[in-house]
Structure 1
Amino acid sequence: MNRPSKTPLTAAVVTSLLCAGLLAAPAAAQPPTEPPTPAAGSWTVQAPPVSGVERLSAEVALDENGAPTLSVSAGDRVVLPPSPIGIVTDGADLSTGLRLIDRAERSVTESYTMTTGKNTQRHAVMREATLSFAGAGDAELDLVVRVAPDGVAYRYELPDRDGTTVVTGETSSWQLPNDAPAWLLPYTSWYEEPRAQTTAGAAATGSYGHPALFDVGGMYVLLTESGLSSAYPGAYLDTTAGTGRYAIGLVEEQVVADGELDTPWRTAIVGDLATVTESTLVDDLAPPSQVEDTSWIRPGRVAWSWLPEHSSPRDFERQKDYVDYAAAHGWPYTLVDEGWSDAWVPELVRYARAKGVEILLWYRWTDVDTQEEMDAEFSRIAVWGVKGVKLDFMNTGAPTHGESAARHAWYEQVLRETAEHRLLVNFHGSTIPKGLQRTWPHLMSYEAVRGAEYYSFAGDPRVTPSYNTMLPFTRNVAGSMDYTPMTFGQTSRSSSDGHELGLSVAFETGLLHLAEMPEVLATRPEAERYLDQVPTVWDETSLVSGAPGDHAVIARRAGERWFVGGIVGGAGREVEVPLDFTGGGRWLVETVTDDGSGGLVRTATTLTARQTLTVPVVENGGFAAVLCRATDGRTTCDEPVHTVPASTLVIEPGEAVVRPGDSVTVSATFTLDEGDPVRRVTMTPVPPAGWVADGDPQRRPRLAAGEPLTGTWTFTAAEDTASGFVDLPVVVEFDQNPATTRRRVHVEQAVRALVPPPAPSGVVPVSDLAFIAETNGWGPVERDASNGEADGGDGAPLTIGGTQYASGLGVHAVSGITIYLGGACDRFTAQVGVDDEVGDQGTVTFNVSGDGDDLAGTDVITGSAGATAMDVDVSGVELLTLEVGDGGDGINFDHADWADATLGCT
């Protein structure tokens, strides 16, 4: 539908603007056959006044050719001189030949609550002007300008003329003085290049990513974007050396949208360094929250194993070590990264939740890039009890660009679906924050930074302490940043332990992934003690001091305590920390610093808000401090670390075979092993989809340690229940102590039930049978094809030693496939080996087991060997399992084939 034209300026309005000097006299009327002559003029929008802050203003002007520009001033000083703006569509060039046809102005005042970020309670006050222009052929353009005390933003609104809007580019730009110091990173769609200092004019010709920081004579300018919608692609900054002009470039040549189109906000955060660092303008400009109930959204610290030991996410027992550590230290989460198996994740979730720890899971974004995949996968893991997902590699995926409109549509879609399933989200290999954390408050963090993981990539020398000091003033201004600090055991880093500990406060993120092994953290008790206290939700943030590339000292308040993180790049020094950010009073200050010999030491002192804390910092060092009100007898700011008491839930039977329509009786006994009594205890059966459970839940208002709670239920499978393994859970939940924790503890155990398919008969290719269970090291198991790559159906014909096989299974180590035989088969045969698609690379082992007992296996087989024959007696076997190991040297190139895999059955 076409939008009605804007109401033209009335004679009274024109006279008023002329008298005010805001509009030049109109040109004489033109013949109807010629377009109206553009009228030069300028229009100013001022920020609401704030005491002690230079008032910002934006001026939009049209030159004699009707070409618009925008400039930004602070008081009487021009910070950003006039820069061309405008947009071009397939039907009109709306960057020239414009004339003003209407103007509207209003105040925008919003109060909202965040779950993450620099402060949870936000209050935004902005002045907004909408300037409506007409161009050649009466093409319309609304330019919306907002000016806040901490910055200026503008966007274009295009009406729907013919059902489709096609943008072919913007002329939007920012003009900087050539000599303005600049902190820039070369543009990539994953924003992981190192940031470096240069000047606006000396920067090499090319493209640079948002956010970009400039120092204009002591007034800082941070350029970025906000309010990006699924209708528009991402943008970068294009510059030509020596010009100081940074033009908006789009990652797609055309933007096609149905109906009206609103572009993202082109945003300049402007002020002193504290104003820029503390700004929430990116969130203030974004659409409001789409999630009404946020009670389930809980940021927190995360134990994470991948960085210090890349193979650990494949190891169930090792993941339990990280869960145990998180539980002992009161950390709410453990992230299981690439390599986890659905064969054991449900058990790990149950193990963790009984200890008060929730599990987060890693996904490659292509695993959930369709609506069907999202529905299936998020439903599945929500049933397991998983609390969040880390989605990775959105920067890849040709033919679309990692910041294309289609990719941004996926960001919104996946956030909508995860909100439905109450799953927290962490984006990796991603774009930068552009306000979505306000719109979708379960979005905890983004990567979009060259973070600590690069220490493990052959010791990347470009992640330096000096580089780290740039991030609070650049990348982290835009939104939460998943840098993953605490890499104490990474020998390639040049930062001190105090620097690493300071990052826990200097950097903000909703999920603080602590990237170290439990055994290494245990050797640094002062770091452990501090990390057990540091929050990830903040009521207030204040820049204490800093200079990009040199040092940063950030103070953040949570409740009545202040936490301070200081980091330094370069020479050691004494860092002064004025305590006026506390607002007044006497404070107990506990500071953890490097002891000068590779360790950490804690000191305590009492100071007033008018005094200054002096901290000695070693080369490339840092510190972390916590402040609390000084009262008589108070010796520490530490608060109790809340852990969950040990408990036991026994469920019988442990395993069962249940055919469709049949039932199994399940009994459970719960005992609190230690600690104070717990309250509001419930024991409940949780039947999976397609099952019913008969029997009432068991409840106790209070349960003391050693006192049993028991229950019995009958689970019945539907007549059309699908074959395979299914868990039949019984769940106990209780309040540990309402005075110390608001969360309920979840303890769960399950009967492992098998719904068997019909037993096979005759001579059967294994690839024709349903799998009861399967795991695979890379991508899915392929039937009658090699493993190929990560996607299903991407394998080639099974080929070993030059011989091609028509049937079989293509897998990747480490792999396991379970098939139901029901005792009906007596022989399994196959030709096994490394598929020719990896050449002479790869080393694997093959093993056949029946009902848990090993029946046959091979030595290590290499890619240069041919096929090995296997002929195995499987008489009486109910469940046959085919396993492939990695040969002891990792899983690279371990593409393995079970070629001509056949069962002989009666």
Structure 2
Amino acid sequence: MLRIKRSLLLFLVVTICNNVLFAQKEGTYTLESPNSEIVVDVNIGEDISWTVTNRSQKIIAPSRIAMTLENGEELGDSPEVRDSEKKEVNTTIDAINYKKDVIENYYNQLTLKFNQDYGLIFRAYNSGVAYRFTTNKNKEITIVSEEANFNFPEDHMIYIPYANDPANDVYQISFENLYQHIPLSEINKDTVAFAPVLVELPSGMKAAITEADLESYPGMFLKAGEKDFSLKGEFTGYPLEEEQGGHNGLQSFVTKRADYIAKTSGTRHFPWRVVIISNEDRELLNNDMVYILASAPRLDDTSWIEPGKVAWDWWNDWNISGVDFPAGINTETYKYYTDFAAENNIENILLDEGWAPRGEILNTIPEIDLDEIISYAEGKNVGVWLWSGYLPLAQNMDKALATYSEMGVKGLKVDFMNRDDQKMVDFYYNLSEKAAEHKLMLDFHGAYKPTGLQRTFPNVVNFEGVRGLENTKWSNTDFPLYDTQIPFIRMLAGPMDYTPGAMKNASKANFRAINSAPMSQGTRVHQLALYVLYEAPFNMLADNPTNYKKEPESTEFIASVPTTFDETIALDGKVGEYAAIARRKGDIWYVGAITNWNARDLEMDLSFLPEGEYEAVIFKDGINADREATDYKREVINVKSGDQLDVHLANGGGWAARIYPAQ
């Protein structure tokens, strides 16, 4: 009898197919998505390989799957299937602090069990496929390597972010590099890339490769495979020796790695290898596979977790003005940030780097009276978050969590991990669990891409792993291009702390990277739209309160946009060109659209609105926004379901709206 654990599921339908087989050495097992468009074939011969097709178009050509243990045992070599089982699952998941409140969880699953006490689980969704290893051994095992191959039938174009210059340690990175748009055949064979990557396929299809439910195991990098037009997984060796270093000594650099990638329990499920498949680009803007594939929540009580926005100090270099005290990292400045937050319904303030002495976490600098700041903020119903470098927190985790929780701190922004080997992945889980015990939320910076940890531990409310707005302080990166790539690629993995909100906006010709007086590339409305477009349960206002006070219309719109939603609809988009999304919270809809440096006209279809009369507060690029990027126009109009609005996006432009029932 199949036993289903009841957790957050509203209903569950499971169909078990009578597919139990006698042990056999060869055979092909076929699994279809619920809509029958995606087909997975698992071939069992001298080894194990899989292929994937979508609408009869081959996506993944035969690709070998294997895992090698320390004793030379190779899971996947001369496999013998002991039994197999198919099932259909059609249920829903109640999401926590997500882009929708209920997620459809509809898939077909194939489980293969082999004679060497291991297995493989394959799933086929209407939006992609995934597989994972399982083992059932009665002792700890050492994983020497895993073979995860993704062979493509042709020389497709790929969006791929290389990890680092191959002359450096490619495995110690911030996971913020830009995408190269190149043929598979031109992938640099001397380095690795990090997931997600996105492959362009015929007929407008796309395939993104990433992973989910990464726990007590190294993250999967990708590199050129042995065959033409292929990618293969690359996994970091376990750290044996480390030394302190990096920015202000906050990082731990691996100086010696083991010849194995993980030591782990012999009875477990391993991370999912995921291929997300779309027929149109816009489908990538609203995909749930990584969240669905993650382990279920491990917290019984999540009522204390309060995602929201935060007035942030670091990007704007504490450059407030019009006050009678010296601006900087001091108590008076953070009271000013608190007043701004309270006046504009911003839920939190953040004390970023500098509030504690360099390399410490249990003390404050003389200019900071943390008790006074927290007490003042509590009196105004504003939460206080603290920034921490990785190493000081790792060395003082228990005491730091207990101390700051008792003081009334709401959460920690943790920075400069810059690795995803097994030891670092264990740190994420250990910190997440212990922080939850102290009712502390977490925002991971210097972080690898999300793999679903935010579902397992909902107190994790955001991740960086993205080249965010902070880079405009020192880089001439083409941000409007990057901004229109990441919602189709990086955001597939989960939320991203991009930190939008610049009030100083520049055209391509006028942009300058200025560290202490930063500006954004693209228009003002481009920045406003990012609050709707990008998933970020913990979302920062990057500019300083003085600038926001000078721009009350923009500030009011930013403050009005929730950070979690009840429903998300992907409206339109094309990778690297433009994107448009609608999200609902209660009966209010929020719409955001952005473009790259090319101006364009869109038709905004409001068919997603229920029947009724609505008012829409609209922000659109001003007539001169191509020259003066701060130029915008705000208007209030009446709309209804089915209306088609003509939308013009200036170079690097945007469009944003809040739509609510008419009174």
TM-score for the superposition, normalised by structure 2:
0.83
2:363 is aligned with 1:363: no
Specify the alignment match of 2:355 in structure 1: 340
Q: Aligned equivalents of 1:582 and 1:557: distance in 2?
A: 10
Hey, what's the Cα distance between the residues in 1 that align with 2:186 and 2:226? Answer: 6
Contact 1:450/1:463, CA 8 A, preserved across alignment: no
In 1, are the aligned partners of 2:285 and 2:581 still within 8 Å (CA)? no
SS in 2 for 1:306: coil
Describe the shift of the 1:421–1:109 C-alpha distance in structure 2 as closer, same or farther (beyond 3 A). farther
Whether 2:83 is the aligned partner of 1:58: answer no
Count, aligned residues: 578
Partner letter of residue 620 of structure 1?
Answer: G
Partner residue, 2:219: 234
**Amino acid corresponding to residue 146 of structure 1 in structure 2:** R
Matched letter for residue 462 of structure 1:
T
Partner of 2:63: 83
CA drift of 1:176 comes to 2.4
1:483 has 2:498 as partner: yes
> 1:326 and 2:341 equivalent?
yes
Match of 1:166 among 142, 154, 157: 142
Looking at structure 1, the residues matched to 618 and 133 of structure 2 have their Cα atoms a distance apart, in angstroms, of 49
Equivalent residue number for residue 251 of structure 2: none
Deviation sequence 1:691-717 (CA, Å, 0-9, x none): xxxxxxxxxxxxxxxxxxxxxxxxxxx
Tell me how far apart the structure 2 counterparts of residues 538 and 175 of structure 1 sit (CA, whole Å). 37
For residues 439 and 330 of structure 2, the distance between their equivalents in structure 1, rounded to whole angstroms, comes to: 27
Structure 2 CA distance for aligned equivalents of residues 220 and 571 of structure 1: 23
* 1:584, distance to aligned residue in structure 2 (A): 4.3
CA positional deviation for 1:419: 0.5
Q: Is 1:403 the counterpart of 2:420 in the alignment?
A: yes
Task: Tell me how far apart the structure 1 counterparts of residues 563 and 188 of structure 2 sit (CA, whole Å).
Answer: 38
Change (3 A) 1:313 1:365: farther
Q: How far apart in 1 are the matches of 2:90 and 2:437?
A: 29
1:467 to 482, 504, 515: 482
* 1:515 partnered with 2:542: yes
Q: 1:499 is paired with a residue of what secondary structure?
A: helix
Q: Secondary structure of 2:521's partner?
A: coil
Alpha-carbon distance, 1:446 to partner? 0.2
Question: Which residue of 2 is the match for residue 204 of structure 1?
Answer: 188
Q: Report how far residue 319 of structure 1 moved.
A: 1.4
Specify the alignment match of 1:617 in structure 2: 649
The DSSP-based 3-state class of the residue aligned with 1:449 is coil
Give the one of 73, 81, 85 matched to 2:53. Answer: 73
Query: Is the 2:522–2:597 contact (alpha carbons within 8 Å) kept by the matching residues of 1?
Result: no
Distance change >3 Å, CA 274–CA 324, structure 1 → 2? same
Q: How far apart are the structure 1 equivalents of 2:616 and 2:183?
A: 39
Deviations 1:272-298 (A, max 9, x none): 333332111111111111111111111
Per the TM alignment, residue 487 of structure 1 is displaced from its structure 2 partner at its CA by 2.1
Shift of 1:83: 1.4
SS at match of 1:467: helix
How many angstroms apart in 1 are the aligned matches of 2:158 and 2:328?
A: 40
On the 8 A contact 2:137/2:267 being kept in 1, the answer is: yes
2-structure distance, mates of 1:424, 1:256: 29
| Deviations 1:849-896, CA, capped at 9 Å, x for gaps | xxxxxxxxxxxxxxxxxxxxxxxxxxxxxxxxxxxxxxxxxxxxxxxx
Counterparts of 1:508 and 1:257, CA distance in 2: 33
Q: Secondary structure at the match of 1:307?
A: coil
CA contact (8 A) 1:313 1:339 kept: no
Quickly say closer, same or farther: Cα 1:584–1:271, change in 2 above 3 A: farther
Match among 523, 548, 558 for residue 575 of structure 2:
548
- 1:313-462 equivalent positions in 2, closer than 5 A: 314-341=329-356, 342=364, 343-370=368-395, 373-395=396-418, 402-456=419-473, 458=474, 460-462=475-477
Matched to 2:378, the amino acid is: R
Q: Where does residue 841 of structure 1 map in the other structure?
A: none
Distance 1:82 1:583, change over 3 A: farther
Q: Which has the higher Rg, Structure 1 or Structure 2? A: 1
SS of 1:498's partner is: helix
- SS of equivalent residue, structure 2 residue 185: coil
| Structure 2: gaps spanning 5 or more residues | 1-17, 164-170, 238-258, 320-326, 357-363, 506-511, 514-519
Find the residue that maps to 2:486 and give its secondary structure.
helix
Letter in 1 for 2:392: D
* 1:304 matches 2:304: no
Task: Look up the match of 2:639.
Answer: 607
How far apart, CA to CA, are the structure 1 residues paired with 2:555 and 2:28? 59
The CA deviation at 1:209 is 0.9
Distance 1:432 1:310, change over 3 A: farther
Structure 1 unaligned regions, length at least 5: 1-15, 27-37, 396-401, 635-906
Partner in structure 1 of residue 25 of structure 2: 39
2:109 matched to which residue of 1? Answer: 128
- Opposite residue 209 of structure 1, the aligned amino acid is F
* % identity of equivalent residues: 28
| Preserved contact between residue 523 and residue 631 of structure 2 (Cα < 8 Å) | no
Alignment of 1:277-288 (within 5 A): 277-288=285-296
- 1:629-644 → structure 2 map (5 Å cutoff): 629=661, 631=662, 634=663
Partners of 2:91 and 2:233 in 1: CA distance: 28
Q: Secondary structure at the match of 2:527?
A: helix
- What RMSD over aligned residues (CA atoms) do the two structures have, in Å? 2.2
Match of 2:234 in 1: 249
Shift of 1:168: 1.4
Change (3 A) 1:476 1:563: same
Q: Tell me how far 1:391 sits from its aligned partner.
A: 0.6
The aligned counterpart of 2:99 is: 118
> Is the CA contact 1:565–1:623 (under 8 Å) kept in the aligned structure 2?
yes
Task: Give the corresponding residue for 1:147.
Answer: 124
Following superposition, the deviation at residue 463 of structure 1 comes to 4.6
For residue 297 of structure 2, the aligned residue among 270, 289, 293 is 289
- Is the CA contact 1:114–1:441 (under 8 Å) kept in the aligned structure 2? no
Do 1:590 and 1:603's aligned partners in 2 also have CA atoms closer than 8 Å?
yes
Supply the distance in 1 between the matched residues of 2:347 and 2:391 (Cα, whole angstroms).
28
Q: Shift in Å at residue 483 of structure 1?
A: 0.3
For the 8 Å contact 1:169–1:250, the answer to whether it is kept is: yes
Match of 1:194 in 2: 178
Residue 310 of structure 1 deviates from its aligned partner by 6.1
Query: What SS does structure 1 have at the residue aligned with 2:616?
Result: strand
Given the superposition, is the C-alpha separation of residues 117 and 202 from structure 1 closer, same or farther in structure 2, using an over 3 Å criterion? farther
SS of 1:482's partner is coil
CA distance in 1: counterparts of 2:433 and 2:440, whole angstroms: 10
CA contact (8 A) 2:621 2:655 kept: yes
Q: For 1:192 and 1:82, how far apart are their aligned partners in 2?
A: 31
Q: Is 1:95–1:171's contact at 8 Å kept on the other side of the alignment?
A: no
Residue of structure 1 aligned with 2:200, choices 208, 212, 215: 215
State the shift of 1:368 in Å: 2.1
Per-residue CA deviations over 1:100-123 (Å, capped at 9, x if unaligned) read 221122234553333323212223
CA contact (8 A) 2:313 2:351 kept: yes
CA contact (8 A) 2:609 2:642 kept: no
CA contact (8 A) 1:104 1:131 kept: yes
1:707 corresponds to which residue? none
For residue 524 of structure 1, report the CA deviation from its aligned partner: 2.2
Deviation at 1:354, TM superposition (A): 0.7
- After superposition, where does 1:708-857 map in structure 2 within 5 Å? none
Q: 1:241: Cα distance to partner?
A: 9.5
1:505 aligns with 2:546: no
Say if 2:59 and 2:153, in contact at 8 Å, map to a contact too.
Answer: no
CA separation in 2, counterparts of 1:297 and 1:539? 17
Given that 1:544 and 1:581 are in contact with CA atoms closer than 8 Å, whether structure 2 keeps it comes out as no
TM-score, with structure 1 as normaliser? 0.61
